[in-house]
A and B are shown apart, each in its own frame.
Chain A
Amino acid sequence: MAWRAVVATAVRSLRAYFRYPFNAVMQLFNFVAWLPPLYFLGRAFMVDGSLPGLAAYAGTDDYAAFLVVGWIAAGFVYAAYWGVGFSLYEEMTTGTLEAVWLAPAPRWAVLVGRSVHMLVVTAVQAGVVLAASWLLGVRFAPDAVRAVWVLLPGLVALYGLGLAVAALVLVAKNPNNLIDMVSYGMNFLSGDRVPVASFPAPLLWLALAMPTTYAFDGIRHALLGTTPLLPFWTELVLLCALALLTAGLGWVAFRAADRRVRVGGTLGHH
């Protein structure tokens, strides 16, 4: 029953998404807004065609490849934030949240179903970026086994984050800006565009407390052979522990927020 609800919600979301073909196509080219400005900033720092500053921190001076991997990983974090959290806001503003909440299906199934379309879109975006960067000469040396080891706990952490954001949306009502800021801040601190090792101590400690830092670092190590922050298997253990913690906290927060809005009768307020 729950999985039927997941599939039905995912199909509904994908159908709504493709009802706006202009938006659907444009979304595939989102990377234009983020990657080139950073890439050209990197070029502005080049000395004789290389980036010794970056190499000193990351063990590679290929900023294009470093950025592409970071952008793809960050895309999945954004998908968790917007796909789960913002989808609830959409239901609120279009006046359908109460109807969805009253359906005889677990609420987590609705949230997971809503996230599927964002994950699909993000995966297609990642494909477009990889293809474009390959055409522009960016090369990877993937260690697929290590990448999968990182992706699985990373996915658990993402759903934990999504549940926490959904809780926030239910309580805060108009959280676009908050979602935007927190997701941006989290991705930046996790090292989506720079090596975390370059941060000053307070930011570095903050970064090391987040599961996404280990996921980004592990993926880069697996795909680019960059120097990891910690030995790979230590990073993996930390990632698993933090992912489970995030998922648990997200679930508790979502349950509490759900109860609060139902008791207060404020479910559909926005």
Chain B
Amino acid sequence: MSALRVVGATALREWRMWLRYPLFVAAFFLWPVLFGFGLVFTARALAGPEGAAAGFLSSAGTADYATFLALGTATWMILNWSLWVLGMSLRQEQWRGTLEAVWATPAPISLVMLGWAVASSAGSLVGFAVTFLQFDLLLGASWRGNALGVAVVLAASMPALYGFGVLFASLVLWAKEAQAAVFFVRGVFTICAGITYPLSMLPQQMQAFAWWLPMTHMVEGVRLAGLHGAALPELLPTVGVLLAFGAVLVVLGQRALAWCDRRVKTLGTTGVF
């Protein structure tokens, strides 16, 4: 019960702080539009004045690049939230000068992290829906998939995203300034997961590496369900792989956090930045 209170209080505090900044709320709705325009207009320019998507059809198996990009981008938004909100959470507290106070509360830091994860997950799932809706309304994407299948794939991805976010947050607390690391890690995921193109575009070695990342399976599952309408039994292998990634990453994340906890307490560097 007390654990739930810690998680709930942390998540609630984060949401209240986001809502305190109207620009943050505005960005939540505007970013997907901007990002969508960037990608869809790039695709249109590459297709040329005639709008020929023959190349895309042969490489992606569909000429509907708007929906292909919509699902990839909406999934990317979830990763983005995990890295910026959960991954940078400890650093944010450090910047505000509140990290010692949070760390000194009788609540375990792992529960506080779970609170951040809840705040981030809720925001990211709303972001997913908002992104797809805006692609649908403004950029020519069209929904014809299996919504339940997409929901199952996203739910199965959450443990892996949480584990990765905690692992990353621990790394950030060690390295301190890490915005560039966020860009880099996000970039590697963006390239390998095939957010904007079919994986077959990558060289063979990169394709082989890509399948070792949970994000690749997440995007694959979302496209299978959302673009091709795959039924739940067809999605089971992807869901199983995502849950396995989740189990490993949650353990790794908790270990990294425990190591970080010991380190900053021993060295007294909680507030050093």
Binding site for B on A (CB under 8 A): 20, 22-24, 26-27, 29-30, 32-34, 36-38, 40-47, 51-57, 63, 93-94, 172, 174-175, 177-178, 180-181, 184-185, 188, 193-195, 198-199, 203
Chain A residue numbers with a CB within 8 Å of B21 are 174
Contact call A184/B43, Cβ cutoff below 8 A: no
If A23-B179, A30-B184, A184-B34 touch, does A41 touch B23 (CB 8 Å cutoff)?
no
- Cα A55 to Cα B46 in complex, Å, equals 9
If A29-B184, A32-B187 touch, does A20 touch B176 (CB 8 Å cutoff)?
yes
Chain B residue numbers with a CB within 8 Å of A47 are 52, 54-55
Contact call B46/A199, Cβ cutoff below 8 A: no
**Which B residue's beta carbon lies closest to that of A32?**
B187
State how many angstroms separate the Cβ of A243 from the closest Cβ of chain B.
Answer: 25
Instruction: List which B13-60 residues lie within 8 A (CB) of chain A.
Output: 21, 23-24, 26-27, 30-31, 34-35, 37-39, 41-50, 52-56, 59-60
**Which B residue's beta carbon lies closest to that of A51?**
B46
- Cα A77 to Cα B236 in complex, Å, equals 46
Contact call A199/B41, Cβ cutoff below 8 A: yes
State how many angstroms separate the Cβ of B15 from the closest Cβ of chain A.
Answer: 16
State how many angstroms separate the Cβ of B140 from the closest Cβ of chain A.
Answer: 13
**Which A residue's beta carbon lies closest to that of B199?**
A40
Chain B residue numbers with a CB within 8 Å of A172 are 23
If A181-B27, A184-B34 touch, does A40 touch B191 (CB 8 Å cutoff)?
yes
**Which B residue's beta carbon lies closest to that of A196?**
B45
Interface presence of B95 (CB below 8 A): yes
- Cα A51 to Cα B50 in complex, Å, equals 13
Contact call B201/A194, Cβ cutoff below 8 A: no
Contact call A57/B48, Cβ cutoff below 8 A: yes
**Which A residue's beta carbon lies closest to that of B203?**
A40
Chain A residue numbers with a CB within 8 Å of B41 are 188, 194, 198-199, 203
State how many angstroms separate the Cβ of A114 from the closest Cβ of chain B.
Answer: 16
- Cα A22 to Cα B41 in complex, Å, equals 35
- Residue among A33, A52, A178, A199 with max Cβ neighbours from chain B (10 Å): A33
Chain A residue numbers with a CB within 8 Å of B53 are 45
Contact call B45/A178, Cβ cutoff below 8 A: no
Contact call A180/B191, Cβ cutoff below 8 A: no
Chain B residue numbers with a CB within 8 Å of A29 are 180, 184
Interface presence of B177 (CB below 8 A): yes
Contact call B196/A194, Cβ cutoff below 8 A: no
Contact call A43/B196, Cβ cutoff below 8 A: no
- Cα A37 to Cα B49 in complex, Å, equals 22
- Residue among B46, B54, B187 with max Cβ neighbours from chain A (10 Å): B46
Contact call B195/A93, Cβ cutoff below 8 A: no
Contact call B95/A41, Cβ cutoff below 8 A: no
The residue from A26, A55, A63, A174 contacting B184, defined by CB atoms under 8 A apart: A26
**Which B residue's beta carbon lies closest to that of A24?**
B180
Interface presence of B129 (CB below 8 A): no
- What 19 additional pairs, Cβ within 8 angstroms, besides A184-B35, A188-B34? A23-B177, A23-B181, A30-B180, A32-B188, A34-B187, A37-B191, A40-B202, A43-B197, A44-B201, A45-B43, A47-B55, A94-B95, A172-B23, A174-B21, A174-B23, A177-B31, A194-B42, A198-B45, A203-B41
- Cα A55 to Cα B52 in complex, Å, equals 13
- Cα A198 to Cα B47 in complex, Å, equals 10
Chain A residue numbers with a CB within 8 Å of B23 are 172, 174-175, 177-178
Contact call A57/B49, Cβ cutoff below 8 A: yes
- Cα A103 to Cα B73 in complex, Å, equals 46
Chain A residue numbers with a CB within 8 Å of B67 are none
Contact call A40/B197, Cβ cutoff below 8 A: yes
Chain B residue numbers with a CB within 8 Å of A32 are 183-184, 187-188, 191
**Which B residue's beta carbon lies closest to that of A55?**
B48
7 closest cross-chain pairs (CB), A and B: A53-B48, A33-B187, A177-B27, A26-B180, A20-B177, A198-B45, A194-B45
Contact call A44/B183, Cβ cutoff below 8 A: no
**Which A residue's beta carbon lies closest to that of B44?**
A198
Contact call A33/B48, Cβ cutoff below 8 A: no
- Residue among B30, B38, B179 with max Cβ neighbours from chain A (10 Å): B38
Contact call A20/B196, Cβ cutoff below 8 A: no
Interface presence of B198 (CB below 8 A): yes
Interface presence of B175 (CB below 8 A): yes
The residue from B39, B55, B175, B188 contacting A45, defined by CB atoms under 8 A apart: B55
- Cα A198 to Cα B30 in complex, Å, equals 23
A-B residue pairs in contact (CB < 8 Å), sample of 25: A22-B176, A22-B178, A23-B176, A26-B180, A26-B183, A32-B187, A33-B186, A37-B195, A37-B197, A38-B42, A38-B196, A40-B196, A40-B202, A44-B60, A44-B201, A45-B43, A45-B46, A52-B48, A52-B52, A177-B24, A178-B23, A181-B27, A181-B31, A184-B35, A193-B42
